[in-house]
Amino acid sequence: MFLVKLLIRNAFRHRLRTLLTILGITVAILAYGLLQTVVTAWYAGVNGSSSTRLISRNAVSLVFSLPLAYQERIRHLEGVTGLTYENWFGGVYITEKNFFPNFAVDAKSYFTIYPEFVLPPEQKRAFLLDRKGCVAGKKLAERFGWKVGDTVSLKGTIYPGTWEFVVRGIYGGADKSTDESQFFFHWDYLNETLKKTIARRADQVGVYVIGLKNPQSAPEIALAVDATFRNSLAETLTETEKAFQLSFVSMTEAIVVAIRIVSFVVIIIIMVVVANTMAMTARERIGEYAIFKALGFTGYHIAGMVFGESLFITLTGGTIGILLTFPVAAKFGEIMGTFFPVFQVERATLTADIVFCGIVGIIAAVFPTWRAVRIKIADGLRRIG
């Protein structure tokens, strides 16, 4: 207890300097935590992908579709336990600013293949019975104030026209990593309309989602699917859901790398700031350290005081920064929910914050400690006053 009181009194001997240093550490840890959370959110789709699902798309590009007739041949492959399909719709709600993912899906099988989308049974039945019905995520419904029974109109971009839907269900996530900002409606509704307007685009799906009995068999089944449709007019490229999601992330890999670099630069900068603070402290107290030595204190005692003070300052600033990360991240996620539907501070980020605080405190105290320990008693006493 005496040692703690001594460290606190020493740390706040120059209150303004110490408070500014703590503030700098707080801002740095807060910035690092937010930047790392952004990176985590960027990979949310990858981290939330299932090992029991394969995605099969057109081998040329995701822009091109696949025939609906492929489903029966895929369904009968050994190791396949379920199959569904979806089309990216790309509809706009009121204005382009109101962006959210919206898909035409096979209503009967989609929520079986994606059990992480939790829909109440009565709402699921209502959705299946209404060809114009739709299901919205909880966050999406809260964002626009939708309730079950409301009518929602989307302006088509890929599929022209105004499309009207009735909200029949609002799904929640099985866990915090589930995206609750998506919008699903009947693929049959889309297909029937296309048959009347653009017949050549009917009976086409964007991707097939394949459920697997054994995740270990994913490579073999992916090869079997692609071999089945080799040399056809629409060859397939089948990959794990994680690989499929990574293909989108790879398009912006340079941005992710830049964010990571900036987050580490922030830590280096604050390390220099703390090191400067401790160097000034050690220089001002050379005479005191000489007196301690004259009283019989060893170099270990002096090193303990310097390291203790440095760690006290960094851990205080780090603790405040970590505590502020949660409300700031929550507000940031609320504002940027369109781009980061899953935005939460991971335990790994908090662990890294604590580790970096310790590393900064230790490294910043190395040179001041070396200088304080090596000072001779006579040389130190000459500097008093």
Could you tell me if 197 and 156 are in contact, meaning their C-beta atoms sit under 8 angstroms apart? no
Indicate the range of 23-32, 62-71, 73-82, 371-380 predicted with least confidence: 371-380
Sign of CA dihedral 83, 89, 94, 99: positive
What is the Cα–Cα distance from 79 to 213, expressed in whole angstroms?
6
Residue 122 pLDDT greater than 70, yes or no: yes
207 versus 175: the higher-pLDDT residue is 207
Convert the pLDDT of each residue in 5-52 to its tens digit.
766 777 677 788 888 888 888 988 999 888 888 888 777 777 777 889
- Note the pLDDT of residue 42: 78
Mean pLDDT check: name the lowest of 20-34, 49-63, 169-183, 276-290: 276-290
Mean predicted lDDT score pLDDT of the chain: 86
Confidence (pTM): 0.77
Whose CA is closest to 364, among 246, 276, 244, 290? 276
Please compute, for residue 208, the number of CA atoms within 13 A of its CA located in the half-sphere on the CB side.
28
166 strand-pairing partners: 133, 151
Residue 166, pLDDT above cutoff 90: yes
Residue 317: name the closest of 351, 348, 353 by CA: 353
Share of the chain above pLDDT 70, in %: 94
| 54 beta partners | 210, 240
Q: How far apart are CA 319 and CA 315, in angstroms?
A: 6
Separation between Cα atoms, residue 67 and residue 315, nearest integer Å: 60
More confident residue, 207 or 338: 207
Name the pLDDT band for 368 (thresholds 50, 70, 90).
confident
366 has pLDDT over 80: yes
Q: Which amino acid is at 267?
A: I
Pair type for strands 53-58 and 236-240:
antiparallel
Residue 374 — very low, low, confident or very high, per pLDDT cuts 50/70/90? confident
Whether residue 380 has pLDDT greater than 70: no
Query: What crossing angle do the helices spanning 15-42 and 347-374 adopt, rounded to 10°?
Result: 150
Unique residue bearing structure tokens 């990571």: 260
> What percent of the chain is predicted at pLDDT more than 90?
42
The pLDDT value given to residue 330? 85
Q: How confident is the model at residue 266 (pLDDT cuts 50, 70, 90)?
A: confident
CB atoms under 10 Å from CB of 95, counted, come to: 8
**pLDDT at residue 294 in the model:** 77
Q: Which helix (H) or strand (E) holds 321?
A: helix 299-335
* Burial group, residue 193, by CB count within 10 angstroms (0-12, 13-18, 19+): middle
Element holding 85 (H helix, E strand): strand 80-88
Count of alpha carbons within 13 angstroms of residue 170, beta-carbon side: 13
pLDDT of residue 69: 93
Taking residues 230-248, what's their average pLDDT? Answer: 90
Structure tokens at 192: 């029937």
User: Cβ contacts of residue 256 below 8 Å, gap of 6+?
Assistant: 39, 42, 249
